[in-house]
Amino acid sequence: MKNDHTYRQLLVWQKSMALVTEIYTEVKVFPPDELYALTSQIKRSATSIPSNIAEGYGRDGKKDYLRFFKHSAKLLI
């Protein structure tokens, strides 16, 4: 998927980064005893979404791109 653009210009990547910011804000109110369990897992899952989109964008070929994109979508479920 290489061209003159970067993954940062993808609307889906931008929206996923906005979601990460929102999630990081929301988990601040979680109970402290969840810090290393639920909070940590939610943060890791959220940051995986834009990371997978970016990694897929950098891959050669539509098949690899779609595989990473689909993985990102599954993290939202």
Q: What is the dihedral of CA 50, 52, 53, 57, to 10 degrees?
A: 140
Among residues 72, 7, 68, which one has the least CA distance to residue 46?
A: 72
d(CA 70, CA 64) in angstroms, rounded, equals 10
pTM over cut 0.85: no
pLDDT digits (tens, 9 = 90+) for 11-70: 999 999 999 999 999 999 999 898 889 999 999 999 999 999 999 998 888 888 888 888
CATH level 3 topology of 7-75: de novo design (two linked rop proteins) (1.20.1440)
Kindly state the DSSP code that residue 27 receives in the 8-state scheme: G
Residue 52: the pLDDT is 92
- Residue holding tokens 């891959």? 59
